[in-house]
Structure 1
Amino acid sequence: MWPEYFATPTIKAVDLFCGVGGLTHGLSRGGIDVVAGYDIDAACRFAYERNNEAKFIECDVGELDAVDVRERLSGANVTLMAGCAPCQPFSTYSRTGRAEKAGTDWNLVAKFGELVQKVQPDLVTMENVPALKEHSVFKRFIASLEGYAVSWRIVQCAEIGIPQTRKRLVLLASRLSDVAPSISWTTRHKITVRETISSLPRLAAGEESLSDPLHVACTLSDLNMQRIKASKPGGTWRDWPEELRATCHRRSSGGTFPSVYGRMEWDQPAPTMTTQCFGYGNGRFGHPDQDRAISLREAAMLQTFPANYEFVPPGQPVRFSSLGRLIGNAVPVRLGERIAESFVTHVQEQHPVSG
């Protein structure tokens, strides 16, 4: 398939629904040449291009022409199409309006499959929410991969070196072999919150680090300051005195949300980072021992972005809602690295390097 003189065939990739570049950055660190990322959100451009040697193309992937993708992948020894279509319809954290949105949002998964059929890359990867496996669009997506060897499984991120209890459906496919790339990743131990963020400077609620504008924590109301001071790492609002509990906690329905207003534990992985992970009341996003919610930088590091990954241009204000959305929606960088490792190994198995 490629000339003998290529000691290690180059894998050239494009990243659909690329966001701020979590998957791209991980693939690149794992040895894959990502040349372009496509996303409809212009707010992703700075971070994507600042931290990656790839071009950001602002477009609606639902209307993307396969010709453009083929041209960007031309001249490669091996080609890869990667992507994570928006997953709101079945997200655990986005239940409101699910039925109304599901039909339109899952169209992007189908579009991804159509692009694979038209472009015919050598390799394909898709990352998404676990519940996608129950949806008919996933079965149709797999059916669209005729001629590819396909493997997929639900990956617990904490078990592959990501300091977060995030579960994701990961699919790898190849038409280079009858055997699909492996997803049997392991790590020696679970990476903890302590290992990930304990070296960062201390902050008070509402304070910003002088050395890093992204290391900034939301302010807390007087009531929430009392609540976080009464919170134990790994505990719940049930640890609070009765007078600090919200009305919803006093109702029976409040029992279904034990992790809101919670602190993380130093020696455990963090909970799943969401688009609201900067807010103390939005989940177990309280710092383990500082009286505040985690900072945006801490959230990004728990998503395994490097500590120097830049998200906003110098001098531009840091906005919690917009950056929380970009960070929470990102593919963890280390997951991209694991995917890259599988593909590189797979390609080398098809073309062993002679001694």
Structure 2
Amino acid sequence: MISPNINPIIRAVDLFCGVGGLTHGLAQAGINVKAGFDIDPVCRFPYEQNNNAEFIECNVNELQAEVVREHLSGGDISLLAGCAPCQPFSTYSRSGRSKKRMDDWQLAGAFGRLVEEVEPDLVAMENVPQLATHPIFDEFLSHLREYSVEWAIVDTANVAVPQSRKRLVLLASKLSSRALKMPSSTGPVRTVRDAIGGLNPIKAGGTDAVDPLHVAPRLSELNLERIRNSSPGGTWRDWPEELQADCHRKSSGATYPSVYGRMEWDKIGPTITTQSFGYGNGRFGHPEQDRAISLREAAILQTFPPRYKFVPPGEPVRFSVLGRLIGNAVPVRLAEIMGETLVRHVVNHAEESGHASNKISSAA
């Protein structure tokens, strides 16, 4: 009988790993992630600097099963995890979608192919909710015929991610038919104040003296006037008419009341997007300071640790690049909850089966 305090070693690889949000959360749950695969070379530094795992630059569409198996070997339980970069279905019309966007959807198919070829004990996937409405999701599920599968749309605010963000989470297991349900809630909601209230104040266009990622873009004089006239939770409708843009005066502008908005200290933040460093791109104004949120604040709202390293020392901080990497990441806290659910499942299975692997150890 395995002790509840000792887990079999769960060894994992992370497909489409990006800067390591999923890997970092799984590791915090006690899962030994050995490697992350991604096509974007910019991800190498943050992935390897913050995680005890190797970054392998490759196109997952072309990744061979034997390479994945090599990195999964040596553990008691194998886990194939990932978040294929699928763009929200509503963003593009059927006629207007580019080939690249269609290829993005097909990356979920590459994930499914690797599941079938590698045959890991466990599978974990995080993605946009719209994936569930796309035929590629049914195709993905067809690769999991031998697994017990649970999936749901998770409101990340219920698992202590301080932002409004709904994600599709899928967990699958060959070990047992026992349900792999994520907890519906993990306690009190974390607010914007809880997350970023303790950071040093900076100005628009300014950078923290200690943390180069705590940097906010400059604002034009017009946008400085706009944010000075903005209240937390308010809209551009509160501004004097001379500050309103032409598009705001049109009926179509009424659809977007949150653009140029400030966050509220004691509520959750908005969904952190790839453009969250831009004041005019959503409710990304700081609750109190006259600026958009910094890249570090965006990363913390994505539940990355406050000292997570994104840029090599001495290299410039590029808003467009870092905004994309942070906005596309799996929130670390969500990944941790996914990992904890899998670890409990593995321990329960070992206890119920009445025996454990000869290699039982706490995961490193």
TM above 0.5, one fold? yes
Measure, in 2, the Cα distance between the counterparts of 1:279 and 1:311: 19
Measure, in 2, the Cα distance between the counterparts of 1:188 and 1:270: 17
Gaps of 5+ in 2: 355-364
When residues 186 and 132 of structure 1 are mapped into structure 2, their CA distance, relative to the original with a 3 A threshold, is: same
Deviation of 1:266 after TM superposition, in Å, equals 0.2
Amino acid at match of 1:99: R
Alignment of 1:165-204 (within 5 A): 165-204=164-203
Asked whether the equivalents of residues 173 and 180 of structure 1 are also in contact (C-alpha less than 8 Å), the reply is no
The SS at the match of 2:320 is helix
Alignment of 1:1-355 (within 5 A): 7-90=6-89, 99-101=97-99, 102-352=101-351
Q: Could you give the per-residue CA deviations for residues 301-347 of structure 1, whole angstroms, max 9, x where no partner exists?
A: 00000000000011111111110011001000001100010000000
The SS at the match of 2:125 is strand
How many percent identity over aligned positions? 61
Deviation of 1:8 after TM superposition, in Å, equals 1.9
Higher relative contact order (CA 8 A, sep 6+): 2
Measure, in 1, the Cα distance between the counterparts of 2:245 and 2:237: 11
Asked whether the equivalents of residues 155 and 164 of structure 2 are also in contact (C-alpha less than 8 Å), the reply is yes
Amino acid at match of 1:148: Y
Asked whether the equivalents of residues 20 and 45 of structure 1 are also in contact (C-alpha less than 8 Å), the reply is yes
RMSD (CA atoms): 1.9
The SS at the match of 1:108 is helix
Q: TM-score, normalised by structure 1?
A: 0.95
Measure, in 2, the Cα distance between the counterparts of 1:97 and 1:277: 28
When residues 95 and 158 of structure 1 are mapped into structure 2, their CA distance, relative to the original with a 3 A threshold, is: farther
Amino acid at match of 1:210: A
Counting matched residue pairs gives 351
Deviation of 1:74 after TM superposition, in Å, equals 1.1
Asked whether the equivalents of residues 89 and 99 of structure 1 are also in contact (C-alpha less than 8 Å), the reply is no
Q: Could you give the per-residue CA deviations for residues 59-91 of structure 1, whole angstroms, max 9, x where no partner exists?
A: 001110111001111121000000000121526
Deviation of 1:95 after TM superposition, in Å, equals 6.8
Measure, in 2, the Cα distance between the counterparts of 1:175 and 1:239: 56
Measure, in 2, the Cα distance between the counterparts of 1:176 and 1:128: 24
Asked whether the equivalents of residues 158 and 164 of structure 1 are also in contact (C-alpha less than 8 Å), the reply is yes
Measure, in 1, the Cα distance between the counterparts of 2:293 and 2:264: 12
Deviation of 1:178 after TM superposition, in Å, equals 1.5
Q: TM-score, normalised by structure 2?
A: 0.93
Q: 104-113 vs 282-291, which deviates more?
A: 104-113
Measure, in 2, the Cα distance between the counterparts of 1:130 and 1:106: 13
Measure, in 2, the Cα distance between the counterparts of 1:18 and 1:322: 16
